[in-house]
Amino acid sequence: MSGQPATALWWHCFSGVAGDMALASLFDAGASPEEVVSGLRSLPVGGWELTPRPTTRAGLAATELVIEVEEDGVERTWADIAKILSSAAALPERARRRGEKVFMALAVAEGRLHGVAPEEVHFHEVGSTDAVLDVVGTCLALESLGVDVVYASPVAVGTGTVRSAHGLLPNPAPAVLELLKGAPVQGTDQAHELTTPTGAALLAGLAVSFGPLPALEVKATGYGAGARDTPGTPNVLQAVVGKLPTPEHPLAGATSRQLRVLEANVDDVTGEVLAHTIATLLAAGALDAWAVPAVGKKGRPAHVLSALAQPEDVPALVAVVLQETGALGIRQQAVERWALPRSSVEVDVAGHNVRVKVGPYRAKAEYDDCARAAAALGLPVREVARLAEQQAAKPGIA
């Protein structure tokens, strides 16, 4: 893969995601049914037939997956699944690893919900033969398409209740929400299960981030049909396959993630309080925090206090802003952040260790380290930073 653009898959989960929809979407995008079925035949699981066939949903052409299983309702543990995956000689190594990640994500989620260790979890619906075929088949289809990295959109879920092996459960099911912690989830008024535990497990185990379609050169698209044909909105999972930016692209190697920006206008706090609030936000998990001068109503000087946050950290950071500043409200907006790869190295400046953050376009010395070295050496901070960054740029350092 070195020097070549990676192939990416983006699943658009506007109508939810299920295991059969995921595999069907990849067949519709061009994955080879023969390759997938051949790989599945190497699993020590018999008595099944898998057939993709064309269909429509709300007038949109799609592929649906038909799986016929002689013995259904089989419960398997994580150890059973691991044995199935490890004993399949014809399973490509990357497909095996991906399958293990999906089932491990499910085992961890179910273990949290039921208060047991992951290895003690008994898979119910998701351990059945058709679910195993959905998961492993999806991993094989990713290999057929040459997919290196998986992204997904925010995930739609339904409302009401669903019936499961544990009885009647709220919709979305507890396992779905546990698996999608940290991912953007959008509720709908549809009173049926849009996202299943198998579908959520595939996203939890395979997707590196959730958000809008990333920058890529589209090569293929596909639509995997859900069981229902709902009028007005096609009940499908959209798959987009394409090439990520080449190594020469300025964002090559970057990873994207859906984040939140929190903002509050404050016009009655001191600079000291603002500085303390920014420091507290960073200590509480903000990825960045800052304040920008502004002119408020009636010409009053003010500041716009902002914080960049991961979705799961938003409640704690909102509490910091409100408690520290006394603000009466706060705004939130979703943003996509592209983060370039970076590393940290430690260099020696006249006997003093200085950490330097190195990215694709520049190296930047850590201010605190430079300040300590500058005080000891009697040099300007900027001179210590220059010497440290110069050291970090030498071959073999980064």
Predicted pLDDT of residue 303: 96
Share of the chain above pLDDT 90, in %: 69
Is 330 within a domain? yes
Could you tell me if 170 and 308 lie in one domain?
Answer: no
Report the distance separating Cα 344 and Cα 25, nearest Å: 40
Is 198 within a domain? yes
Average pLDDT, the chain: 90
pLDDT digits (tens, 9 = 90+) for 270-316: 999 999 999 999 999 999 999 999 998 889 999 999 999 988 899 99
* Domain containing residue 322: CATH number: 3.30.70.1380
Q: How many domains does the chain have?
A: 3
pLDDT digits (tens, 9 = 90+) for 134-168: 999 999 999 999 999 999 999 999 999 888 766 78
- Between 169 and 55, where is the model more confident? 55
Could you tell me if 28 and 145 lie in one domain?
Answer: yes
| Beta-strand runs (E) in 126-246 | 149-152, 155-157, 161-164, 167-170, 185-187, 207-210, 217-225, 236-243
- Between 336 and 368, where is the model more confident? 368
Do 257 and 339 touch, CB atoms closer than 8 A? yes
Q: Sign of the CA dihedral 261, 262, 268, 271?
A: negative
Is 1 within a domain? no
Predicted pLDDT of residue 125: 56
End-to-end CA distance of the chain: 21
- Between 78 and 268, where is the model more confident? 268
Is 2 within a domain? no
Could you tell me if 150 and 266 lie in one domain?
Answer: no
Q: Which residues contact 374 (CB under 8 A, 6 or more apart)?
A: 380, 381, 383, 384
DSSP 8-state class, residue 226: -
Could you tell me if 162 and 262 lie in one domain?
Answer: no
The single-letter code of the amino acid at 4 is Q
- Between 110 and 58, where is the model more confident? 58
Predicted pLDDT of residue 1: 40
Report the distance separating Cα 359 and Cα 393, nearest Å: 11
Predicted pLDDT of residue 3: 47
Q: Which residues contact 396 (CB under 8 A, 6 or more apart)?
A: none
Predicted pLDDT of residue 49: 95
Could you tell me if 141 and 234 lie in one domain?
Answer: yes
Is 250 within a domain? no
Predicted pLDDT of residue 72: 61
Last residue in a domain, options 221, 243, 265: 243
Could you tell me if 144 and 46 lie in one domain?
Answer: yes
Cβ atoms within 10 Å, residue 29: 23
Structural domain boundaries, residue 367: 343-392
Could you tell me if 156 and 296 lie in one domain?
Answer: no
pLDDT digits (tens, 9 = 90+) for 331-365: 998 887 888 888 889 999 999 999 999 888 889 99
Could you tell me if 308 and 377 lie in one domain?
Answer: no
- Average pLDDT of the residues in 66-81: 81
Predicted pLDDT of residue 213: 92
Predicted pLDDT of residue 2: 42
Last residue in a domain, options 243, 265, 294: 243
Is 331 within a domain? yes
Could you tell me if 184 and 208 lie in one domain?
Answer: yes
pLDDT digits (tens, 9 = 90+) for 184-223: 999 999 999 999 999 999 999 999 889 999 888 999 999 9
DSSP 8-state class, residue 14: B
Is 55 within a domain? yes
Last residue in a domain, options 298, 319, 339: 339
Question: Is the pLDDT at 395 greater than 70, yes or no?
Answer: no
Could you tell me if 157 and 221 lie in one domain?
Answer: yes
Could you tell me if 278 and 215 lie in one domain?
Answer: no
Could you tell me if 212 and 289 lie in one domain?
Answer: no
**Dihedral pair phi/psi, residue 394, rounded to 5°:** -70, 145
Is 397 within a domain? no
